[in-house]
Amino acid sequence: MKFSAPRGTRDILPEEASRWRWLEEVFREQCRLYGFGEIRTPIFEETGLFARSIGEETEIVTKQMYTFSDQGGRSLTLRPEGTAGVVRAYLQSGLANQGGVQRLFYFGPFFRYERPQKGRFRQFYQGGVEVFGAEGPQLDAEVIALAMDFLNALGLEGARLRINSTGCKTCRPVYEKALRKALAPVVDKLCSWCQERYKGNTLRILDEKRPDCRRYLKDIPSILDSLDKECREHFEDLRVLLNGLGIPYEVESDVVRGLDYYTRTVFEINQPGLGAQDALGGGGRYDGLVEEFGGKPTPAVGWGMGVERILDALETNRQPQAGKGPAQEGLVYFATAGSVDMEIVPNLISEVRASGMAAISASLDKALKAQMKEASRQCCRWVVIVGEDEIAAGTVTLRDMESGEQQNIKREKLIDTLKQLMEQKPL
């Protein structure tokens, strides 16, 4: 019997995994620069957690969640997004009682039962950030700046930042009433899903992507016209801050994201050239969610970014650094020439690894040419050649695979020489 990966999932093989590792390292470094600490939450939670936070009528909850009952009869769900679990942990762990501003980041797999297509999987990976305890637009601008700095650090060009405000629980109902009135003459021409949204959370219609429905949304009123004074000032201040940071953006009143917990600021980052699935990620403010989960009223803001989408964007833009993993370039390959005592090379490799550097070898009984070809295939920067002449002289030959240069050095100087070379040629 043959088995294959479940539909909507895939295996990440070593060559591609190096790109993933590189992206994660860049993400972690940017989070460190902004003062964020890592949080790791379970990949499954109580089903009610997501129904309450995301919204019981959302497509994620009604159609896309992987939900099951365990042996104890508890309803559990594989996490479809990151914020709900982080908020739950923020309250349960006591972080909420420490006061001040809490900055947290996460990275890991998430799960949604969607139709698999390019850029969309049933198991997908996200990196995200959440900030608790800061009400003003300064933190909105800061997390947006972090997102853009992350993409810039990857070398990704052309990403579009789209921002909007969905108001608050006071002014949003005013807009929803105006939206229902504007859509009433055409509601029967919308798809069945939009008709359900019309009856429930009407604002979610703005998130509709199907062209047949989008054409009826061109002349609807803008939510920005319904904002109350505080929400309007919050949004205007955010724009001032983004302008001051030199971050280009576009104001688009149909950006609402697909989750019910957002308030005021919402944003999305898109990458032209990716087709229908061009959203790299997005987020916004969710000032009522902590209280919804039983905590004290706590302002919060955050975002999530899709790893697969970003890697696709890098590939589309043909960014050269995207295909290189730092561990590969720092790999030292050991090769032999002629008849060599079988214990010598393993001992040298062990010494190199003990010093903190990665080292490998293959079949040492192969011809030197074949070994060099294997070193090239493994993307090794340096090759240490041990031959009969080198053994007699107590030396090794060190070859730089990038420049083609090689040098003969004393065996006891090998580790120091490799470390110096790695410092001179940062990865």
pLDDT tens digits for 375-405? 888 788 899 999 888 888 999 999 999 889 9
Q: What is the pLDDT of residue 319?
A: 58
Q: What is the pLDDT of residue 61?
A: 83
Structural domains of the chain sorted by starting position, each given as residue range(s) with its CATH number in brackets: 14-171+227-322 (3.30.930.10), 326-424 (3.40.50.800)
Q: What is the pLDDT of residue 266?
A: 96
Indicate if the pLDDT at residue 185 is higher than 90.
no
Phi, psi of 192 (to 5 degrees): -60, -35
| Token pair recorded at residue 38 | 């890592």
Confidence label for 322 from pLDDT (cuts 50, 70 and 90): very low
Q: Region 36-57: what's the mean pLDDT?
A: 89
Q: Read off the DSSP letter of residue 167.
A: -
Amino acid code (one letter) for 98: Q
Q: Region 175-188: what's the mean pLDDT?
A: 86
Indicate if the pLDDT at residue 226 is higher than 60.
yes
* Cα(247)–Cα(239) distance, integer angstroms: 10
Q: 310 to each of 67, 270, 281, how far by Cα in Å?
A: 28, 10, 9
* Cα(271)–Cα(280) distance, integer angstroms: 7
Amino acid code (one letter) for 349: I
* 203 SS3 class: helix
Interval 105-158: pLDDT, tens: 999 999 999 887 777 899 999 999 999 998 889 999 999 999 999 999 999 999
| Token pair recorded at residue 176 | 């929803």
Cβ atoms within 10 Å of 117's Cβ, excluding its own: 11
Q: What is the pLDDT of residue 57?
A: 66
Reported as half-sphere exposure (CB side, CA atoms, 13 A), residue 80 has a value of 27
The answer to whether 194 touches 212, Cβ cutoff 8 Å, is: no
Indicate if the pLDDT at residue 320 is higher than 80.
no
The residue to which tokens 């947006």 are assigned: 144
Phi, psi of 350 (to 5 degrees): -60, -40
Confidence label for 327 from pLDDT (cuts 50, 70 and 90): very low
Task: Select the more confidently predicted residue: 374 or 280.
Answer: 280
Q: Which helix (H) or strand (E) holds 410?
A: strand 406-410
The answer to whether 96 touches 66, Cβ cutoff 8 Å, is: no
Indicate if the pLDDT at residue 170 is higher than 60.
yes
Confidence label for 366 from pLDDT (cuts 50, 70 and 90): confident
Indicate if the pLDDT at residue 358 is higher than 70.
yes
**Helix ranges restricted to H, 116-268:** 137-154, 172-183, 192-199, 211-214, 229-245
Arithmetic mean of pLDDT over the chain: 88
Indicate if the pLDDT at residue 28 is higher than 80.
yes
Indicate if the pLDDT at residue 54 is higher than 90.
no
Q: What is the pLDDT of residue 341?
A: 74
Q: What is the pLDDT of residue 112?
A: 93
| Percent share of the chain, pLDDT over 70 | 94
